[in-house]
Amino acid sequence: MRAISTARVKAAPSGFRRASTLLCLLSLQLAFTACDGVEGAGITAAAEKQLPLVRVAKLEWQKVRNAIETTGFLESEHRVTLLSKISGRVIAVEVDEGQRVSKGQVLALLDDREAQQAILQVEVQLEEKKVRKELADLAVDTATGKLEQAKIERDKALAEYKRNTNINPDLIAPKELDDSKFAWESSVEALKVSDFDKRKAELEVLVAQNSIAELTARLAEQTLKLAEHSIRSPIDGVVEERQITGGETIGTSTELFSIVDSENLVAYLRRPQRELPLVQKAKEVTFTTDAAPDRQFSANIDVFSPVVDQSSGSFRIRIRVRKEDTEFLRPGMFIKSEILTEDERRALMVPKSAVINELEKSIVYAIRGNIAHRLVLDPGLELRTFVECKNLGDEGLAAGDLVVVSGQQDLRDKAEVEVVKD
């Protein structure tokens, strides 16, 4: 019996064995599929129960002050490029670059021999005209004396003629009467000649005076030209550049020196027009520069630009560096400045990472009892990483509130959340 049974097993056809194998594999696949379905349903259910994860920050009062940060460059209020008013040869250069000079100090000298010779010629001519004037004055005095004598002679002849005309004709000879008349007429003519001589002498004095005035003006002109052979500094300052060395011939368009006033420094700061009401109430301006990283400098607001630039929508502020700080500064330095527009005060500051901008509204989510509350923020002072909350109390925020700083993008009002523990 046992032998027959074994033979039957071995004699089973190959088609039957393949069918049995396929049946077993199909059963295993169905079993695994059923298991996967059960496990997926469990995961989905767990996911539906998972709460949004958020990170929060605790709000605190902070001491703040409203300051506008901006940049600019220091400039010298007075910078002069010197040119000569005359042509000539440079015979001496008295200063070098970097040297401090005072107003009126000689910087260079030009050859002035021709100018001195011209002055000498004018002085000789002027002395000659002065002598001529003295002679003309003497002629006037002489003519005046002659005129007075002629008047006396005329009056005497007139009196003699009138006396003879009043005498009875029978008692005076006709010739005597004619002679007195002729004498009177001659005295009148002599008076006219004397008057002419006096006026001529006075005109000669006037001509001499005009000549003296003309030569005096020419002497002043030549003296001024002589002075222009000395190149002088028009301001107190420092020699920034020296373009001459001595010996060269220069013209009226040759640049000689550049002088900068290093004690009167200003800077021009550009700001958008929306900040105009703020900076007009500015308290002070402080600035720093990389050339003196450990120092903070102060400046005063000097001038607000009266116009707004149409192309950029900005206006200019001119600040003036205080005198005590100019020792450490130079024109051309790059500065980082702060315009203080409000004194220090306390404010409830919200991290900018907590603020969501929705059209014209600023939204924050405050977590109270694991529930996210959507609040509209009334922003105030804005700093680099914080913004002031102006709506405080029941309708806003308060110190100690937790606001969402991460994970708030898909958050909904009154949604339950899970706060990540840092």
pLDDT at 233 (0 to 100): 95
Cα–Cα dist 52/59, whole Å: 21
**Residues 246 and 105 occupy one common structural domain:** yes
pLDDT bucket at 218, cuts 50 / 70 / 90: very high
Q: In this structure, what token pair is assigned to residue 346?
A: 């306390």
Average pLDDT of the segment spanning 36-64: 66
**Could you tell me if residue 3 is inside a domain?**
no
**Could you tell me if residue 253 is inside a domain?**
yes
Residues 263-303: tens digit of each pLDDT: 899 999 999 988 888 788 787 799 999 988 889 998 988 88
**Could you tell me if residue 14 is inside a domain?**
no
Asked if residue 212 lies in contact with residue 131, where contact means CB atoms within 8 angstroms, the answer is: no
The residue segments making up the domain with residue 217 are: 113-227
Cα–Cα dist 239/236, whole Å: 10
Q: Please report how the helices 174-227 and 113-165 are oriented relative to each other, as an axis angle in degrees rounded to 10.
A: 170
Residues 392-411: tens digit of each pLDDT: 887 789 898 899 998 888 88
Per the rule left: phi > 0, alpha: psi between -120 and 50, beta: everything else, 189 is: alpha
State yes or no: pLDDT of 38 exceeds 70. no
pLDDT at 340 (0 to 100): 85
Please name the helix (run of DSSP H) or strand (run of DSSP E) that holds residue 103, with its range, or none.
none
Is the overall model pTM greater than 0.85, yes or no? no
**Residues 104 and 245 occupy one common structural domain:** yes
**Residues 238 and 370 occupy one common structural domain:** no
**Residues 117 and 204 occupy one common structural domain:** yes
**Residues 145 and 274 occupy one common structural domain:** no
**Could you tell me if residue 296 is inside a domain?**
yes
CATH number at residue 205: 1.10.287
**Roughly how many angstroms between the first and final C-alpha of the chain, as a whole number?**
79
* CB atoms inside a 10 Å sphere around CB 172: 15
Cα–Cα dist 297/322, whole Å: 8
Least confident of 92-96, 154-158, 373-377, 418-422: 418-422
**Residues 101 and 137 occupy one common structural domain:** no
pLDDT at 28 (0 to 100): 42
DSSP 301: E
Total structural domains in the chain?
4
Residues 70-110: tens digit of each pLDDT: 999 999 988 999 999 999 999 999 999 989 999 999 999 99
Instruction: Give the whole-number percent of the chain exceeding pLDDT 70.
Output: 88
- In order of 71, 283, 292, the CA distances from 67 in angstroms are 13, 10, 21
